[in-house]
Amino acid sequence: MKRTEIKKLLERTDFGSLVNVKGWVRTKRGSKNVAFIALNDGSTIKNVQVVVDRNEDNTELLEQVNTGASLSVDGTLLESAGSGQKVEVHATNIELLGKADPNEYPLQPKKHSLEFLREKAHLRFRTNTFSAVARIRHSMIFAIHKFFTEEGFFNIHTPIITASDAEGAGEMFQVSTLDLNDIPKTEDGAVDFKQDFFGKAANLTVSGQLEAELGALALSKVYTFGPTFRAENSNTTRHLAEFWMIEPEVAFCDIYEDMDLAEDMLKYVIQYALDHCMDDLEFLSKRLQDEEKNKKADERSMELIEKLKFVLDKPFERITYTEAINILRNSKPNKKKKFQFPIDGWGADLQSEHERYLVEKHFKKPVILTDYPRDIKAFYMKQNDDGKTVRAMDVLFPQIGEIIGGSQREDDYDKLQQRMIEMDIPQESMWWYLETRKFGSVPHAGFGLGFERLILFLTGMGNIRDVIAFPRTPLNCEF
């Protein structure tokens, strides 16, 4: 008999039909004459209840039906006599596909800590929390492609291995086929990369932006959605060494249209989650409330679904760096010296505590900060006429902080070249980037969205290591 996925089975009303379900046992309970098995196959967060009449023939089998075991169940689809579910399957035949010794299987029908599950990453897909996150993650991948497709964008694959070390987005992982135990050296003692695979030093990409710009300056609207690697020794709840980034790049676009795009995209995918992932969101919402029930009322976060709707309802606040500095300078925490890094002048980068104050206390909604001092931003950002600031924009979200970083790009050849000289960016290896400003240069802009940070916000999870199946962080590459 053909397997029916549990998601589809639970919607059926053709009671009396013979069906087959396959899945993993979540719990088994019951009494002397009847046993109930909660079976889950990952197609939905919901389980199907399998009802088994106990008899001499199935006693031995039911002893092996423990949490974690996998089953194939033939039975009759019936309207449930119990109150917890609409339908259930009355088993006529149960095949044990794979047993799970309860003395060894680590997952019990109870709440486990996320830290514990991180050490059991090969099994954590089987928990409600991680399967919910995985399904939402999939929906967001789809929603992002759908949004950009509907907006007339083309997805391009930018290289994962790159030879340019000038992107300036962070420390890079080196890519080499040289024998690490016998590294060839040049006469002056440096590593002889001429003997390496590419004949030059190569790294894993820290951003697809520069290549995406090349695409945009021909296809007008492009985006990348690929893996990104940063070898920073970052140990936080919002950094990974390997993460996924979405980077749209748009020709004939200024910083304001760039902000519109960022806000539209975020709202589109959040709405998509509300429309398509409600079962999982409701579960995660309950999980979050359960986790926070011991916290004081004012320390609890907003209910998850309410929080998502809240972001959809209002336009994001858009202010310049200079305006932000003025707000922060006159803020209570600054006057009362509550900030660890007091705001005393123009020019310093904002710290996490400042961003959180603006988003969570002052505006109480997402904030887009623009026009940062040029000295704290990358070389490729378009310079404003004031000679001090650049057309950068950061989208700040509650709890997450910076979820998007973007800018209008410098499209003036001379200004870009001048800035590269000032910031010691090697022009020789970037000749191809500069050349796009020499031939048919146009105003263009783009941004980078940290995919896992978006998932963090949507799921209410607290640690970025729990929204990617196999997190890569310093000293962690087990699975």
Nearest alpha-carbon partner for 282 in 294, 273, 293: 273
Residue 300 contacts RNA per CB under 7 A: no
Which 3 state secondary structure label does DSSP give 61?
helix
Count CB atoms within 10 A of the CB of residue 135.
18
Please give the residues from 111 up to 170 whose contact with RNA meets the rule CB under 7 A. 111-113, 115-116, 118, 169-170
Tell me how many degrees the CA angle 239-242-245 measures, rounded to the nearest 5. Answer: 85
Query: Which residue, 198 or 232, is less far from RNA as judged by CB?
Result: 232
Residue 353 contacts RNA per CB under 7 A: yes
Residue 238 contacts RNA per CB under 7 A: yes
Q: Give yes or no for a contact between 216 and 444, defined as CB atoms under 8 angstroms apart.
A: yes
Which residues does 306 contact at the CB level (< 8 Å), separation at least 6?
none
Please give the residues from 374 up to 393 whose contact with RNA meets the rule CB under 7 A. none
Please give the residues from 260 up to 299 whose contact with RNA meets the rule CB under 7 A. none
* Structure tokens given for 335: 């006057």
* Location of structure tokens 């007091």: 342
Closest distance to RNA from the beta carbon of 368 (Å): 12
Q: Which of 214, 401, 418, 441 binds RNA (CB under 7 A)?
A: 401
How large is the C-alpha radius of gyration of the chain?
27
Beta-bridge partner residues of 76? 18, 90
Residue 346 main-chain phi, psi, to 5 deg: -90, 135
Name the DSSP letter for residue 478.
Answer: -
* Interacting span for RNA (CB under 7 A) from 15-23, 151-159, 300-308, 350-358: 350-358
Report the DSSP pairing between strands 444-450 and 242-251: antiparallel
Q: Which of 61, 84, 159, 295 binds RNA (CB under 7 A)?
A: 84
Residue 460 contacts RNA per CB under 7 A: no
Residue 361 contacts RNA per CB under 7 A: no
Residue 240 contacts RNA per CB under 7 A: yes
Q: Give yes or no for a contact between 98 and 69, defined as CB atoms under 8 angstroms apart.
A: yes
Please give the residues from 326 up to 345 whose contact with RNA meets the rule CB under 7 A. 341
In the shown chain, the binding pattern of residues 406 to 445 toward RNA, with x for contact by CB under 7 A and - for none, equals ----------------------------------------
* Structure tokens given for 185: 């050296």
Name the DSSP letter for residue 220.
Answer: S
Query: Which residue, 230 or 437, is less far from RNA as judged by CB?
Result: 230
Closest distance to RNA from the beta carbon of 407 (Å): 9
Closest distance to RNA from the beta carbon of 253 (Å): 18
Residue 34 contacts RNA per CB under 7 A: yes
Residue 66 contacts RNA per CB under 7 A: yes
Residue 76 contacts RNA per CB under 7 A: no
* Interacting span for RNA (CB under 7 A) from 11-19, 26-34, 181-189, 366-374: 26-34
* Location of structure tokens 């359960």: 290
